[in-house]
Structure 1
C-alpha cells in the first residue's frame, strides 16, 4: 500500500510492485500529429478487402469519441471510464492490478457470474465465497440477498483485495440495495475495492452504484453494451471508477484493446436515434419478462419463477431434467444452472421476443401435461 496517497484513495490498493509501472507506450501516443505516419510499422497500402484503408492503421487505445459517448450514457466524467473488450477484460484488469498472485484474494457471492473466479484463479489469486441468501422459504418478494454482514466479516478477516458483487445478479436477477453497497465499501476503505457488475443495469429499477463513487472511491462499476444495446459480438465493456485507478488500469491494458470496426459500430449505437430504439427494446423486454414469469409461475411443472431485475428469469422445476429435455426438443436452448451453488433444480431463461416466449410457455405447458 502506498502510504503517501491520501486516505481513501483506491490507488492505495494497487499492488506495490506496480506502483511505478508505466505500461506499454503505443505508437498512438497522444499529442503527436502529422500527415505522414511512419512510426508504427503499418502497411503503406490498404488491404484488398479494405478499400478506404481505414484498417491499415492501429486504432486509438482509448477512443476519445467513444469514451465521451459512454461517459454521457453512464453519467460520469470521461476520465473515470476505461473502455475495453467487454466486462471480462475489466474483471481481468482489476484482478491483475490489485491482487498479488499467491498473496491476495477476491470475494464472490455464489451463485454468480463465473468470470470473477476464473480470472482470479488464472492469476493465482485465492477465491473466498460468501453464498447469497435465498429467502424462498420466507415467501417474501426479496430473494437471493447478499449477506453483507458475512461479506464484511470475511473481507476483513483475510487478504481480500476485491469484493465482486453482481447487481442485478447473474443468474439470480436480484438487484442489491445501494445503501448496503455503500456501507460495505465504507467499512472496507483502504482495505478492498468493491466492484459492482451492472451488466444488466438497463433492465433494473435500482440506480447505478456509479453514483456512490464520489463518496466512496473504493467502488468500481462494470457496464457493457452486450445486453440492452445488442452488441455482444462487438465486445464493448467499461469500468467506471476513481480517475486515479482508471489511469492505473490503462497502464495494465493491452495497447490496442478495441478493433476499429467495433469502435465505429459502438459510436453509431450511442447516437440519439439508436438509443431511442434501445430504450424501446428494453421496454418490450420488461413487459415480456413479467408476462413470461406470470405464465411460468402458473405451471404445475414449475417450483418457482423468481422475480427479476434483468433480461432473464431464474426458474426452479420439480423435474429440471425433463424441463431441459423438453425445451431442447422444442428447439429452445436455455442456460443450465443445475451445477451452480444451490441451483440443482434451476434453469435460466433469457427473455426473447413475444413469439419466442410463447414457445417457451407452450413447451413448459406440454411438459406439465405429461407429468
Structure 2
C-alpha cells in the first residue's frame, strides 16, 4: 500500500470504513435484453425540452413544479420540497434531525435498503424491527419497540414485500409518537394504490412526513426527482440543510411537464394497465410448480420464492433480467418488475420452459401471502 492510500484510509471515520454501500439493481452490471429488475416503468416519455439559460443558476425550488405537485397531492405549496429523488429526502431527514453517535432511527425489515445505508453513513444507530411487528403488532407494541428513535421509516407499500400498512394504523402510530419522533411514510409506489396515501395526515400531524418520487408510476427513473411532503415547521430546518441549487433547470422543465394535469391522467391510465398485467403475472406464477411462495401486495412488482435458485441463471441465459436477492435468510427469492405485455411474455416463456428438480418435487404446494 502506498503512503498516499494509507493516509487516505487513516482519515476515514470508522463508520464510513465499515460502511456496506447500497447495491442497486443497476450496480449489478448484468447483461440482457428484457429488464425487469429495477421496478422501472415500461413507458418512455415524449417530452419537449428547450433550455436557453443554462448559464444562470436555477430556481432552488422551481415554482411551477411545486405548484403542480402541491395541486396533485392536495397540499399547500409550503408543504412541498423538491429533491433529487426520494433518496435525497431520506438523507436530508437523517442529516437534519439526527445527531451522529447519539440518535437512532427505526425501520421494519425487510425494507428499502437506503434507510440503513443513510443512517450508517451519518453514524446514526439503527433500531431494526420487523415487518411482522408493523403489520401484526398493536400500536402500543410498535411504539414500545420504537423506543427513543428520532425517525420511524414506514415504506408503504413496502419494497420488496409489497405489504401495505393500513392508513388508520399509520395515523395511530403518528398520534402515539407525537412530540417524540417523525413518522416518515415512503410512498414511492403509492400511485398503484392512491387511496392509501398518508398525505391527508400532514395537516393533522406535525410529525408526519411523506416521501414521493417520479421514478415509478411517473416513468422518470432517469430524472432522479422526488418530493418531501410535511408541515412547514418540519421542512424549514431541512431547507437550511439542503444544497443551494438541488434541482437543475433541465430537471425542473421535465418534471413540470410530467406532473401537468393531462400527464397525470396519462399516468393513471398506465397504472391501470400495469395493475392488470400484474394480476396476469400472478396467475402465471401461481400455476407454476417452480414457484414456492408469492408475496402479493401493492406496487409495480411481484416478489416470489423459487424452488431452485438456478432458475434465475436460466432466465439470465435467455436475456431476462430480474432481481435476485436474499430474503428471510434465504437466497432463492426473486422480484419481478411489471413491464410491458411483451416483456412479461418473456417471463411466461421462461416459466413454461422450467423443469422442477426432483429434490423439490415433493414439496407440497406453494403459499400465497
Same fold (TM over 0.5): yes
Structure ranking higher in strand proportion: 2
Shift of 1:214: 2.1
5 Å-filtered alignment, 1:245-256, equals 245-256=234-245
Match of 2:145 in 1: 154
Contact 1:131–1:146 (8 Å) recurs in 2: no
- Helix, strand or coil at the partner of 2:185: strand
Change (3 A) 1:351 1:51: closer
Residues 1:165 and 2:164 are matched in the alignment: no
Change (3 A) 1:127 1:329: same
- Helix, strand or coil at the partner of 1:160: coil
Match of 2:246 in 1: 257
Shift of 1:149: 4.5
The root-mean-square deviation of aligned C-alpha atoms, in Å, is 1.9
Structure 1 unpaired stretches of 5+: 1-49, 135-143
Match of 2:90 in 1: 91
Change (3 A) 1:65 1:356: same
Shift of 1:274: 2.0
Normalised by the length of structure 1, the TM-score is: 0.80
Distance 2:317 2:195 in 1: 37
Residues 1:328 and 2:349 are matched in the alignment: no
Shift of 1:145: 2.6
Residues 1:223 and 2:222 are matched in the alignment: no
Match of 1:368 in 2: 355
1:248-294 C-alpha deviation (Å, 9 max, x unpaired): 11111000001111110111112233222212211110000000011
Distance 2:280 2:296 in 1: 11
Number of residue pairs matched? Answer: 309
Match of 2:117 in 1: 118
- Helix, strand or coil at the partner of 1:103: coil
5 Å-filtered alignment, 1:263-278, equals 263-278=252-267
Shift of 1:344: 3.3
Normalised by the length of structure 2, the TM-score is: 0.80
5 Å-filtered alignment, 1:60-99, equals 60-99=59-98
Structure 2 unpaired stretches of 5+: 1-48, 359-369
Shift of 1:133: 1.9
- Helix, strand or coil at the partner of 2:130: coil
Q: Which runs of 4+ in 1 moved over 3 A?
A: 50-53, 146-150, 340-344, 368-371
Distance 2:87 2:141 in 1: 26
Change (3 A) 1:146 1:221: farther
Shift of 1:146: 5.8
Contact 1:162–1:195 (8 Å) recurs in 2: yes
Distance 2:81 2:179 in 1: 22
Contact 2:51–2:249 (8 Å) recurs in 1: no
Distance 2:188 2:258 in 1: 17
- Helix, strand or coil at the partner of 2:87: helix
Change (3 A) 1:322 1:104: same
Counterpart of 1:211 (choices 186, 200, 208) is 200
Change (3 A) 1:52 1:114: closer
